[in-house]
Amino acid sequence: MTDRPAAVFFRIRARQGIGPPLPSMTPVFILFLLVPLFALVAFLKLRTGTAGELLLHVLLRLNLDRKRFRILHDVMLPTPDGATTQIDHIVLSPGGIFVIEAKTYGNDPTRNRDECWIFGGEHDREWTVSYPGARKFRFQNPLRQNFKHIATLSEALGLPAECFRSIVAFAGTARFKTDMPANVMGFGDVAGYIRSRSSGNVFAPEEVAGIADAILSLQGSLSNRRKAAHVANLRRNHAGGSSPSALRSVAPETPRCPRCGSPMVLRTRKSDGAAFWGCPDFPECRGVRPVQPPRQG
């Protein structure tokens, strides 16, 4: 059997003392490594937010002692009003519970890797992200967003709010153009911030493990259909480049299911094409409401 040209080339280099011999399948082996790499790059371009959250999760794993800290990622919990809320990261320690809201505006591989600018204040309702080329949009103040996360955890676990620490973390290319509170930072500073504020003894080590199990148990109480409805709602809200603030303006008009209290979703009746409000947990819950016509004047 005739050797492949690439294999002959590497064997000649080996006999000349230039390098070690390589197997005849070297080109195939290299291709085997490159295909998953290209697939990963394509995935990251499609799912920038997910990739950014995963990056922060890896940084926390690498820089926090597993014996002292318990790290939970992408936690979805039921809220007291019957809806759901999604928490990017929770870090539990004897010094307290750190609730992290991750933002990836500055780490979008589908755009140029120039830095983006973040404008906002601690008490502002909305912040602004500005990209090169005068492209900008507003988004909900993440400190307020994280306040809801902490309130949900506090009520569900029966723990006072003083046990929780709020952190907002932005991807590496984001730059703050206004003064930010100490708990707003870049991804690379999160682990150090947590270590510096975990010296207290709010919880015993066994309590940390128990709290983590309780959170996972609460997450497990959500049906797969309800989790899927939450994700679908987020994707629908951000489709087409619409700004989150514009979409949130209609949120108060969204009714709740008369049976289970969940925020309802618009559906279309197959028989006549008419729109109606339906429960996201259908068919487990069959609550419906009519669509009210817009008010005149």
Q: Encode the chain (297 residues) as per-residue pLDDT tens digits.
A: 555 555 555 565 556 555 555 455 566 666 666 666 555 544 444 344 566 678 888 999 999 999 999 999 989 888 777 778 889 999 999 999 999 999 887 554 444 455 789 999 988 989 999 887 778 888 889 999 899 899 889 988 899 888 999 999 998 678 899 999 999 999 999 999 999 998 878 898 889 999 999 998 888 765 555 555 544 554 454 444 433 332 233 334 667 777 766 677 777 776 666 777 887 767 667 788 887 654 444
Q: Is there a single domain that holds both residue 183 and residue 217?
A: yes
Q: Evaluate whether residue 14 is within a structural domain.
A: yes
Q: Is there a single domain that holds both residue 84 and residue 162?
A: yes
Q: Evaluate whether residue 238 is within a structural domain.
A: no
Distance CA 2, CA 233 (A): 59
Range of the domain at 166: 65-228
Q: Is there a single domain that holds both residue 17 and residue 127?
A: no
DSSP-based three-state secondary structure for 279: coil
Q: Is there a single domain that holds both residue 196 and residue 260?
A: no
Closest CA to 222 of 66, 78, 53, 71: 78
Q: Evaluate whether residue 22 is within a structural domain.
A: yes
Number of domains in the chain: 3
Q: Is there a single domain that holds both residue 224 and residue 277?
A: no
Q: Is there a single domain that holds both residue 39 and residue 71?
A: no
Q: Evaluate whether residue 260 is within a structural domain.
A: yes
